[in-house]
């Protein structure tokens, strides 16, 4: 065994041929570990270990991907059919797509070449997959409306008398007292009203 992370590993993904392993976790670094024969270990590996099935092959750490900002909680590998159609390549078996998701609320998709001839390429970023519901807080005669990237404070209107058609008339209309927006459309997670 050898150390690939500075903190706990939370997820792993193994390729279908069981020759490539990706792992990640609390330190948010995605590490690629490959099973290779000793003659092809020309890559800069920090540590190696032999397998139980074939003593001539070794696991080596080949690449570290620094794409996430927080814990990575899920990894999966799929055949890269979309990437090969996009690049008009015919060799489907040499390409994979690594999909990773973490606490930074992003899904990242990397194009992976199996033979390490090119480094992983970040192909797609999918931001903010967290569910965020609008919230309403009431305190006295005020309502606080919370949206994804802004909040509004409203005062309640004052009810007046009914008119001749028996319809309620407002003596004072509701008023938007303040609207506060975040910079760069940053998400609002928590609000409170005192």
Domain CATH for 51 = 2.130.10.10
* pLDDT tens by residue, 178-194: 999 998 888 887 888 77
Whether residue 193 lies inside any domain: the answer is: no
On whether residue 2 sits in a domain, the answer given is no
Same-domain pairing of 107 and 25: yes
Using alpha carbons only, what angle is made at residue 155 by residues 153 and 158, rounded to the nearest 5 degrees? Answer: 165
Cα dihedral 20, 25, 29, 35, rounded to 10, equals -20
Does 171 lie in the same domain as 90? Answer: no
Q: How far apart are CA 8 and CA 29, in angstroms?
A: 11
Question: Number of structural domains, the chain?
Answer: 2
What is the per-residue pLDDT across 58-95, written as a single tens digit (0 to 9) for each? Answer: 888 888 888 888 888 889 888 765 544 545 544 445 67
Tell me the β-bridge partners of 142: 139, 155
The tens digit of pLDDT for each residue in 31-68 reads 898 888 876 544 444 444 545 566 778 888 888 888 88
**Domain co-membership, 86 together with 161:** no
Q: What is the pTM of this model?
A: 0.54
Q: Is residue 110 domain-shared with residue 26, that is, in the same domain?
A: yes
CA dist., res. 59 & res. 54, Å (int): 11
* Strand pairing category for 72-79 and 58-65: unpaired
Instruction: Classify residue 120: in a domain, yes or no.
Output: yes
Could you tell me the residue range of the domain that residue 175 belongs to?
A: 135-185
Same domain, 24 and 87: yes
Q: What phi, psi does 18 have (nearest 5°)?
A: 60, 35
């Amino acid at each position: 065994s050898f150390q690939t992370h500075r903190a706990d590993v939370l997820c792993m993904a193994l390729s279908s041929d069981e020759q490539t392993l990706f792992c990640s976790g609390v330190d948010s670094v995605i590490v690629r570990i490959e099973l290779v024969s000793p003659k092809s270990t020309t890559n800069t590996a920090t540590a190696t270990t032999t397998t139980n099935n074939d003593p001539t092959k070794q696991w080596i750490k080949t690449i570290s991907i620094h794409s996430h900002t927080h814990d990575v909680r899920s990894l999966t590998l799929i055949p890269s059919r979309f990437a090969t159609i996009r690049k008009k390549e015919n060799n489907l078996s040499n390409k994979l797509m690594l999909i990773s998701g973490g606490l930074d609320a992003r899904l990242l998709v990397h194009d992976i070449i199996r033979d390490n001839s090119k480094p992983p390429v970040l192909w797609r970023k999918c931001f903010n997959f967290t569910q965020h519901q609008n919230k309403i807080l009431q305190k006295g005669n005020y309502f606080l409306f919370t949206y994804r990237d802004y909040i509004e404070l409203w005062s309640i209107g004052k009810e007046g008398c009914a008119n001749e058609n028996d319809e309620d008339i407002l003596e004072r209309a509701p008023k938007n007292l303040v609207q506060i927006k975040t910079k760069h459309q940053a998400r609002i997670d928590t609000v409170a009203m005192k």
